[in-house]
């Protein structure tokens, strides 16, 4: 670990917050060189906000004012993130689409996790769609956020085999378990300086990352 200070994270959630909690626990255990400076939810009643409070994290609810007033949400979120000294924004089950100008102004400073092997199945209901398509492999993707929905450069993917006759619930739970491993891992890469954003693309260990790293899970 280098001598630099802990990387300050701002985590945006909308729901349960299990990824947020996994990241916070890795930070707390001193495994990442990062710390959670602030958790923001667009849903004041999100279970994840309560979990964050129980973990002793600073929280902020910024109710979603509707798509037409998205800039108002973004103005408040940006002010809160800046005031907390956030260096990396981590979308963790944040179910809103941030505007092009917000994202572009923070190029290389926003990560997202998506529950599919992107570019397959952007958008919603990914587990159901993977089953309906007869996919034999499925997983999750950590990627940089760009204005294209679920389309930014992919960094790390977890891959699992779909079991014969598997239910959507089972597949979702198995993918989520891998999310809790791969998201902290990418944040650790960034905190250690192994992952950088240069020339409008990600670099890992000094070379452009042209295809995502894939981690196989057999759980
Ligand atoms: C996660 O599975 C994440 O991949 C997904 O929402 C879930 C949130 O769970 N994100 C998206 O679908 C984003 N398009 P969590 O609140 O327990 O972390």
**Are residues 143 and 80 located together in one domain of the fold?**
no
Q: Answer whether 188 contacts ligand 1 (Cβ < 6 A).
A: no
**Ligand 1 proximity of 24 Cβ (cutoff 6 Å):** no
What is the reported pTM?
0.97
Same domain, 119 and 75: no
Domain containing 34 — which CATH number?
A: 3.40.50.170
* Domain encompassing residue 157: 113-219
For residue 219, pLDDT over 80 is answered with no
Contacts of 71 (CB under 8 A, 6+ apart): 99
Is residue 4 predicted with pLDDT exceeding 80? no
Average pLDDT value over all residues in the chain: 96
Structural domains in the chain (count): 2
- Of the three residues 27, 62, 96, the one that is the final residue of a domain is 96
Is residue 175 situated within a structural domain? Answer: yes
Nearest residue (CA) to ligand 1, atom 6: 93
Residues 209, 127 share a domain: yes
Are 73 and 132 contained in the same domain? Answer: no
Q: Report percent pLDDT > 90 for the chain.
A: 96
Nearest to 90 by CA among 143, 151, 158, 152: 143
Choice among 4-8, 48-52, 194-198 with the minimum mean pLDDT = 4-8
User: Which among 34, 15, 49 has a CA at the least distance from the CA of 89?
Assistant: 34
Examine the fold and report which residue of 96, 124, 153 is the final residue of a domain before the chain moves on: 96
Q: Mind listing the pLDDT tens digit for each residue in 55-96?
A: 999 999 999 999 899 999 999 999 999 999 999 999 999 999
- The distance of Cα 13 from the centroid of its chain, to the nearest Å, equals 9
Answer yes or no: is the C-beta of 19 below 6 A from any ligand 1 atom.
yes
Long-range residue pairs from 57-63, CB within 8 A, at least 24 positions apart, any chain: 57/24, 58/84
Residues 120 and 179 in one domain: yes
Q: Which residues have C-beta within 8 Å of that of residue 67, sequence separation ≥ 6?
A: none
CA–CA separation, 122 and 143 (whole Å): 12
Q: Which atom of ligand 1 is nearest to the CA of 19?
A: 18
């Amino acid at each position: 670990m280098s001598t630099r200070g802990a990387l300050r994270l701002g985590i945006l959630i909308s729901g349960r917050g299990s990824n947020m909690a996994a990241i916070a626990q890795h930070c707390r255990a001193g495994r990442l060189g990062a710390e959670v400076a602030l958790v923001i939810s667009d849903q004041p009643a999100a279970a994840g906000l309560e979990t964050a409070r129980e973990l002793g994290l600073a929280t902020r609810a910024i109710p979603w004012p509707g798509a037409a007033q998205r800039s108002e949400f973004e103005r408040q979120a940006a002010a809160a993130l800046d005031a907390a000294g956030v260096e990396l924004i981590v979308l963790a089950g944040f179910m809103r689409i941030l505007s092009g100008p917000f994202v572009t102004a923070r190029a290389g400073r926003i990560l997202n996790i998506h529950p599919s092997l992107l570019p397959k199945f952007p958008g919603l209901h990914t587990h159901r769609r993977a089953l309906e398509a007869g996919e034999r492999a499925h997983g999750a993707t950590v990627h940089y956020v760009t204005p294209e929905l679920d389309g930014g450069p992919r960094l790390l993917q977890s891959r699992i085999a779909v079991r014969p006759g598997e239910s959507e619930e089972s597949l979702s739970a198995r993918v989520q378990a891998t999310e809790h491993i791969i998201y902290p891992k990418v944040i650790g890469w960034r905190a250690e300086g192994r992952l950088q954003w240069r020339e409008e693309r990600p670099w890992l260990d000094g070379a452009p990352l042209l295809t995502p790293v894939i981690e196989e899970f057999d759980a």
